[in-house]
Amino acid sequence: MKFDNYMILEFPSRSTNEAFARSAVACFAAQMDPTLEELGDIRTAVSEAVTNCIVHAYPNEIGNITLRCRILKDNVLDIVIKDKGVGITDVEQARRPSFTTGGAERSGMGFTIMESFMTNFEVSSASGKGTTVHMRRKLQRRK
């Protein structure tokens, strides 16, 4: 697929890097002149995806998270967040609202939030091999 611009980041699954990832994507998306609402939605979706990697993919160790953003035709922001952690045994179950493996302090709403804020949302995973979250957001043209 043809794209106008891209960035790729790789960082350790430390909780401090969640804000870094969220801000990096927001700065990259800024060139598309998003509304404040669009930017907030994108930041929230990225935050949820990266937090899932930190909490669920690498529960007992620090691993790597890869984040790729591309600007596609028709003003679409394409975001892929990937880990090589423990994976998800049952993706359908994990996507159900309120389902969590993270304990009582987790709401289980991460995938639901990501899906509601993005135009397209996909999750693929293999147990023991990691998870990939692929999100797209079509932004309004303001120019």
> What is the distance between the alpha carbons of residues 130 and 58, in angstroms, rounded to a whole number?
9
Distance (Å) of CA 76 to CA 87, 97, 137, 141, 143:
28, 26, 6, 10, 15
Out of 18, 38, 48, 115, the active site residue is 48
Instruction: For residue 106, indicate whether it is catalytic.
Output: yes
Out of 17, 22, 52, 115, the active site residue is 52
Instruction: For residue 52, indicate whether it is catalytic.
Output: yes
Give the number of other CB atoms < 10 A from CB of residue 32: 21
Q: Which residues are catalytic, by number? A: 48, 52, 106
